[in-house]
Amino acid sequence: MKVLITGGAGFLGRRLAHKLVARGSLKGTDGRDQAIDEIVLLDVVPAESLADARIRMIVGDIADASLLRRAIDRGVGSVFHLAAIVSGEAEADFDLGMRVNVDACRSLLEACRAAGHQPRVVFTSSVAVYGSDLPATVLDSSALNPQSSYGTQKAIGELLINDYSRKGFIDGRVLRLPTIGVRPGKPNRAASSFASGIVREPLNGEQSTCPIAPETRVWLLSPRKAIEGLILGHELPAQALGSSRIVNLPGVCVTAYEMVAALERVAGAEAAKRVRWERDEVTNRIVASWPGAWDTRRAEALGFSGDADFDSIIRAYIEDELSSAFAGRA
């Protein structure tokens, strides 16, 4: 089996590739395990070196339909569609967001359709598909009313995955991810970037700014649990999903204030003092329109699970990304 990961040079894409290399197989649409012969990482930039002969890199524009047609042949049994323009950038550049988050998604699905063998497609969506005036806990039945271009673009992708699956062109599944944290590296233009920054930078001895109100709730998931969820979502039989291929993944509901309090418990008062509260109205408006928690009973019945608490998310970041000396201290 060949596996395609779009956004393969990104943080989750590289982690997923590592996990699949170690795992060695995935279920085909017939429900039987198939050995992974090749993992293709498609991105606009090269991925960091992954030392395995099964890894191949394609560098190019995800919105190039001809590139997608070349990448998705009958050997591709599974597609993890992770590539996207992030929320803040999609809001600032409407045309770029539509081109990558909508047009490229449709082109990818058309390439799968043209291949003619109904590959399994996992599409990552977002809390941003919901909108303002939400209940304390969003239900599966809650109407989508995105208040950002990114949320609208992800909602369009969800509908496309559902319809292409209904028509039998793909075996699709949509995983609505909570905000993923803590991510290593530098901040990006996602409105949710602060959720990593207010932990990552203080742990590195640097100042960080929290742009949202302390009482604003955020729905969070660790990278560990995100990768676990991507693979579990892939492995589910189509009949377990029924007519709706969309699953809200479990997460941790926590306010920005509680996130900093957890940082203090795990890493000490000095780390927590490095967080400054400087509200940015644009970021706060976007984040406040997202659900702080949603009903995950369906996901849990399917076998998905989230992190125990935000303290656990911080500890996982320390263990996975920082030195063993710091991990021992934490």
Per-residue pLDDT band at 330 (split at 50, 70, 90)? very low
Domain map (residue ranges) of the chain:
2-178+222-248, 191-217+252-292+308-329
Which carries the bigger pLDDT value, residue 90 or residue 190? 90
Q: Would strands 252-255 and 217-221 be described as parallel, antiparallel, or unpaired?
A: antiparallel
The residues carrying an active-site annotation are: 150
Whether the per-residue pLDDT at 289 is higher than 90: the answer is no
Closest CA to 19 of 305, 225, 228, 177: 228
Closest CA to 178 of 121, 226, 232, 137: 226
What whole-number distance in Å separates Cα of residue 6 and Cα of residue 71?
Answer: 10
Span 191-217+252-292+308-329: which CATH code? 3.90.25.10
Number of separate helices (H) and strands (E) present in the chain: 15, 14
pLDDT digits (tens, 9 = 90+) for 174-199: 999 999 989 998 888 888 899 999 99
Q: Which CATH superfamily is domain 2-178+222-248 in?
A: NAD(P)-binding Rossmann-like Domain (3.40.50.720)
Q: Any idea which residue has 């329109």 for tokens?
A: 289
What whole-number distance in Å separates Cα of residue 103 and Cα of residue 241?
Answer: 26
Which helix (H) or strand (E) segment holds residue 113: the answer is helix 104-115
pLDDT digits (tens, 9 = 90+) for 235-260: 999 999 999 999 999 999 999 999 99
Q: Answer yes or no: pTM beyond 0.85.
A: yes
